[in-house]
Amino acid sequence: MALRQNVVRHALDAGFARSASEDLAEGADPQVQQKLFAQHGIEVPVVDIQPGRLLRASVAAYNERRQLDALVDALAPLLGPA
């Protein structure tokens, strides 16, 4: 999954002090931000940009690899087809 590679690679390369952004596919759940928080306690901004939407994950030194993996796993059913 491109998102896993993007978020994890950028976080690890920067020593967990970085943000990564990912364009959301047209088929992504329109409530992805709300569902991530309600179902998984994960808070990430999703912003509308023309012509689509962008998810931004910020990672800091206190984040653990398992938290990045949890984000990516929680996103999988919400993103729609790649």
Annotate the chain with DSSP letters as a single string. -HHHHHHHHHHHHTTS-EEEEEEEPTTS-TTHHHHHHHHH-----EEEETTEEEEEEEE-TT--HHHHHHHHHHHGGGS---
Q: How many domains does the chain have?
A: 1
Determine the structural domain holding residue 39 and report its residue range: 2-78
- Supply the CATH number for residue 28's domain: 3.90.1150.10
Please report the pLDDT score of residue 6 as a whole number.
61
Q: Name the percent of the chain lying above pLDDT 70.
A: 74
pLDDT digits (tens, 9 = 90+) for 51-79: 788 888 877 777 787 887 888 888 888 87
Please report the pLDDT score of residue 33 as a whole number.
93
| 81 vs 40: which has the higher pLDDT | 40
Average pLDDT over the chain, rounded to whole? 77
Please report the pLDDT score of residue 2 as a whole number.
60
